[in-house]
Structure formats: C-alpha cells, structure tokens
Amino acid sequence: MVDTPPTSAPRLTPRENLTTLQTHILAEEQKHPHASGTFSWILSAMALSAKVIADKIRRARIQDVLGSLDGENVQGERQQKLDVIANETLLRCLGSRSGVAIVASEEDENPTFIQRDSGGERPYCVLFDPLDGSSNLDTCGAVGTIFSILRHDRRASTPDASILQRGVEQAAAGYILYGSSTVFVLTTGAGVSMFVLDPSIGSFLLVEHGIQIPKTGKTYSVNEGNRRSFPEGYQRYLDWAQSNGYTSRYSGTMVADVHRTLLKGGVFLYPPTKKSPEGKLRLLYEVNPMSMIIEQAGGKAVAVTERVMEVVPKTLHQRIACCMGSPDEVDHVLRHIA
C-alpha cells in the first residue's frame, strides 16, 4: 500500500473569507472618518433583536406563545402573542443604545422618546414593523421584521415632527426574514447586503453583497382574493400577465414576498381596494424601507404612479398602495394603470 500525502485543506480566497454582520458594519464605519459609532450600535441592536425573535419563533408552539390575544393594536388588527413579544424585544434592545432618540412601532399608537436630548449624541429615529405576517405563525409560515432608520431633527418639538420624513431621507433600511433560515437584508445607501444567521456560532454571516434584482421576472405577487375590488387598471394588468405566461406567488407576508422578488425578479403589488382605497400597507415602516432596498438593488417602487420615496408622510400609521420589483415589470404595471 502506497502512502499518499495528506491533502491540504482548501484555502479561502478573499472572496470566501467569512464576514459577520458586525464586521461588515465596522468596515463600513471606517469609510466615514467622522463617524461616532452610534449608527453601528443601532444596527447591532437590530441584529440582537433578530436573534431573540428568531429563537422565540422557533420554539413558539413548545412555549405556547402562538395564537392571538384578546385585544387589538392601534391598527384595529387582532394582536398575536408573538407580535407583542417581538415589539417588546425591539424596544428593549434599542432602548439600551445611545444612538436612539425616538422609536416608533406598528403596535404603538404614538412614537416614543427614548431619551430627550440632554447634550449627548442621540441622533437617530428607528421605525419598525416588529412581526410582519404574524397571522401565518399558526401554520408555520414565514414572517419577518421590517425597519427604517432616520436622522433625528433635534429642533423637532414632537416625535411626530421628527419622524415624518420622506423615504429618500432614510439613513438605512432593512428586513429580517424568519423562514427556513433567518436572513438579514440591509442597505445603508451603498447597495444591498444579505446575511444569514449561523445558529452554531450565533452570528449573521455575509452571503451576498451588492445584490441586483433581475431586470425582468414573470412572477407577480398580489392577494388575488381582492381582485374584484381592484381598480380597473390593475385588473387589466393581471389579465395581461396571465395571458403572457406569468405565475402567481403570494404568501401573505410582505417580507417573504419582497425577498423572493428581490432575488428572483418579478413584481410585488398591494393595490387600493374598495375597503382600503388609500392602500393597506404602512408607508413609514413597511413600504419606505422596502422601497429603499428595492431601489438600491436596481429596482423600482411606486405608489400608484408616484415614486414611493418621494411621498410626503402626514401621519405615523399612514397607509399607502404600492408596486415594487424588477424595473421592467413595474413598468408593465404602470402601463396598464396609467
């Protein structure tokens, strides 16, 4: 028998080096010599929240935290037990970070000052939907967290005055998808990065940077159960799409549907309906952050025919209709609803 020399372990190329979310944040911070580090602390809090929420979701049935509570949130929607848990987790994680001035949540009626300006540096507002699609939890469906980070205006006399900013003024946006894996997608205005939680080491690892949405994609994502109450233009679009070989994919969780659209192409739609003539999704902490991500990946996001991120918000919980995804596919929708 001839001895064979042991093969050396494959060497990682620079492209394959392991990069955690924390490392990525610190590397981005170094590109800004005057950065104070507070922004990095906020993103670190979001990552910590994501790990806690992912763990709660994974053990939800074992710990009997599935199902709804007796009350409703400020949206008039039945609260799920995990809605409250996710909301409290985010508030506790963000409340300990010195970079947070104001937080605002889908679950709370009004935004909250974490700490009024007392000379320290607390320059950011964080808005979030703590658990998008929570009604899917009982059947083990995917759910997610969506967040938007804005710069706090110290001159603002009220929290509302500081957070009612257009989407183009966002400092960062992201979402966490709790599915077969826990995925953290982030943009700080310089492209879109995707991280996946490795539970064996407890860290989010970079799996793709500079994500670009496909220019086209023959998939649309919309709740067709409401089709008869859509404006005629959207119905014309669906007729056209179905006659041209498009397929429908809809999960009932915005995070899951937009994530698929981001990676595979296509279009995500939430049109106006007779029941919700202004639209149903919330502008500030759902549609604006998702629009920033889609645009940073080369896609388009419109509110009926206006660019989403140019819409001037009037209230924290303002609802809006939207269409976002591959640029060519959004154009197809616009052509039919114009």
Separation of alpha carbons 189 and 176, rounded Å = 17
Q: Where in the chain is the domain with CATH 3.40.190.80?
A: 219-337
Note the CATH number of domain 219-337: 3.40.190.80
Question: Phi and psi dihedrals of 228, rounded to 5?
Answer: -65, -20
Output the average pLDDT for the chain: 90
Contacts with 322 (C-beta within 8 Å, 6 or more apart), sequence order: 268, 269, 270, 279, 281, 287, 291, 301, 302, 303, 308
Q: Where in the chain is the domain with CATH 3.30.540.10?
A: 18-209
Res. 2 pLDDT band, cuts 50 70 90: very low
| Residue 11 pLDDT > 60 | no
Residues constituting the chain: 338
pLDDT tens-digit series, residues 97-132: 888 999 999 999 999 888 665 445 668 999 999 999
pLDDT tens-digit series, residues 262-291: 999 999 999 999 999 999 999 999 999 999
- Which of 145, 135, 138 has its CA nearest to residue 255? 145
| Residue 27 pLDDT > 90 | no
Q: State how far Cα 301 lies from the chain centre.
A: 14
Domain 18-209 has CATH 3.30.1370.60: no
Res. 8 pLDDT band, cuts 50 70 90: very low
267 contacts 221 by C-beta, under 8 angstroms: yes
168 contacts 310 by C-beta, under 8 angstroms: yes
pLDDT tens-digit series, residues 205-238: 999 999 999 999 999 999 999 999 999 999 999 9
Beta strands of the chain (E only): which ranges?
68-72, 78-80, 100-105, 112-113, 124-132, 143-151, 170-178, 182-187, 192-198, 203-209, 219-221, 247-248, 267-270, 281-282, 300-303, 306-307, 319-320, 322-325
245 contacts 218 by C-beta, under 8 angstroms: yes
| Residue 30 pLDDT > 80 | yes
Confidence at residue 334, expressed as pLDDT on a 0 to 100 scale: 97
Element (H, E) at 130: strand 124-132
- Which of 281, 252, 260 has its CA nearest to residue 185? 260
Confidence at residue 71, expressed as pLDDT on a 0 to 100 scale: 62
Whole-model pTM: value is 0.91
